[in-house]
Amino acid sequence: MKQLTKDFSYKTIFTLLTLALMQTALWAQESGGTSESSGSSSSTVKTTTTQTTSEWYTSPWVWVLGAAVFILLLIALLRGNSSGATASRTDRVTVTKTTDTDIV
3-state SS class at 36? strand
Q: Please give the distance of CA 35 from its chain centroid, rounded to a whole number.
A: 39
Please answer whether residues 36 and 46 qualify as being in contact, where contact means their C-beta atoms are separated by less than 8 angstroms: yes
Residue 90, pLDDT score: 75
Q: What is the mean pLDDT of residues 28-33?
A: 67
Q: What is the pTM of this model?
A: 0.31
Indicate the helix (H) or strand (E) that contains 104: none
Confirm if 43 and 37 have CB atoms less than 8 A apart: yes
State the amino acid at position 101 in one-letter form: T
Highest mean pLDDT among 13-27, 32-46, 58-72, 74-88: 58-72
- CA–chain centroid gap for 62, Å, is 13
